Amino acid sequence: MLLTDFDFHLPEAQIAQTPLAERDQSRMLLVDRAARTWNDAGFRDFPSRIRPGDCLVVNNTRVFPSRLIGKRIGTRAHAKASGQADYLQGDIEVFLTRQLPESPLLWEALVKPGRKMPVGEQVLLGEGLTAEVVDRSEFGARTIRFHCHPDDLSGLIQQHGHVPLPPYIRRGDEAADRDRYQTVFAAEHGSIAAPTAGLHFTPAVLQQCRDAGATIAEVTLHVGLGTFQPLRHTEVTANSLHTERYEISEQAADQINSARRRVVVGTTSARTLEGSAERGRVRAGAGETRIFIYPGYQFQMVDALLTNFHLPQSSLLMLVCALAGKDFTLNAYRHAVEAGYRFFSYGDCMFVE
């Protein structure tokens, strides 16, 4: 399989730049795998698809403001030689991707422009928040160490950070994004991107699903580079994903394993279940996964999937193709384009049964 096998044409005007006025007013493409058909609907129809005994599996991760903007801290000698009144130089963007286990002050990050941030460079990211590059890792990422008390770091990131909107949203983040780029069940701090299929839900829709006979199981997968990184090798199987942390409670595992049907909300929830599956059951506990799902994969835990529309040639699109079939999925995507659906994070959704 080649990356180009998972391509489709999408007019830029159909990439959603802002959320709709109400979370649950998005459109929903109903996809029937067995009948090889699809139908246009609205997300408010979703509870009508729920059956007694279903388990609705959602990812309760919470996005943190992981995009920081700062200035390089030059040496005082450099400031004197250049005639500058101070020694702050050049805008730098530091995009935090994951906290490292060695210390709460050590993080993996992407920096831009990277050529100006070698090992040893320091950056001021806001009052009371400075960091130093201490190492380089694959694909140009950096390891940075914050210079503050560990107990203060989370609050400083919340104060100075920006909502990490994806690059295809061509605007700066706004105050409203702090709410709308979170699901209503977001609880566990740690993601650099929202599990976007969950953005459509409201408390009322969740209650309608319960009333229809479903239990709701919350799992956690902290979305990192593994979910959204571009695939770099032309041959699909030559690619691998970054590691992402997940956790499944005993209660959630029991709900999932005893369900008549598992209705999974989002590719991140799907990867959590499949990454922890063993002989058709999920295992409770915390762990890490770098599972990469593409056509040919045999699902153990996903019976139905609610998901947004994904980027061409992405690992997320490949997961959907693995569940519904590549040609059928891409034909459904072409219909969605022709029918004017909104795409990507703030866009519409499809329900694959």
Are 203 and 102 part of one and the same domain? no
Q: Where residue 90 falls among pLDDT bands split at 50, 70, 90?
A: low
Whether 217 shows a pLDDT value over 90: the answer reads yes
- pLDDT for 154: 95
* Domain span at 123: 67-160
What's the confidence (pLDDT) of residue 282?
A: 97
Phi, psi angles (nearest 5°) of residue 79: -65, -40
Residue 51 has pLDDT above 80, yes or no: yes
How far are the Cα atoms of 152, 191, 317, 348 from residue 92, in angstroms, in the given order? 22, 21, 32, 34
Domain containing 200 — which CATH number? 3.40.1780.10
Q: Helix (H, G, I), strand (E, B), or coil: what is residue 54?
A: strand
Give SS3 for 163: coil
Q: Span 161-173, mean pLDDT?
A: 94
How does the average pLDDT of the chain come out, rounded? 93
Mean pLDDT, rounded, for 197-203: 98
Whole-structure pTM value: 0.92
Residue with tokens 């994806």: 166
What per-residue confidence (pLDDT) applies to 156?
Answer: 97
**Do residue 133 and residue 268 come from a single domain?**
no
Q: Are residues 90 and 238 in the same domain?
A: no
For residues 222 and 220, what is the distance between their CA atoms, to the nearest angstrom?
6
What confidence category does residue 226 fall into, taking pLDDT thresholds of 50, 70 and 90?
low
Distance, first Cα to last Cα, the chain: 25
Q: Report the alpha-carbon distance of residue 345 to residue 324 in Å, rounded.
A: 21
Mean pLDDT of 229-238: 91
Q: Examine residue 170 and state whether it is found in any structural domain, yes or no.
A: no
- Structural tokens at position 212: 């229809």
pLDDT in tens, 281-332: 999 999 999 999 999 999 999 999 999 999 999 999 999 999 999 999 999 9
Q: For residue 133, what is the domain's CATH number?
A: 2.40.10.240
pLDDT at residue number 86: 43
Q: What is the pLDDT of residue 114?
A: 84
Whether residues 103 and 52 fall in one domain = no
pLDDT value, residue 242:
85
160 pLDDT higher than 50? yes
Angle between helices 315-324 and 326-338 (to 10 degrees): 110
Same domain, 143 and 48: no
Domain count, the chain: 2
The answer, yes or no, to whether residue 54 has pLDDT greater than 70, is yes
Instruction: Output the six-digit token pair for 135.
Output: 């190492």
Backbone angles phi, psi at 282, to 5 degrees: -90, 150
> What distance in Å separates the CA atoms of residue 36 and residue 345, rounded to the nearest whole number?
26
pLDDT at residue 228, as a whole number: 64
Q: Could you tell me if 254 and 221 lie in one domain?
A: yes
pLDDT above 70 (res 87)? no
> Where does a domain end: 131, 160, 189?
160
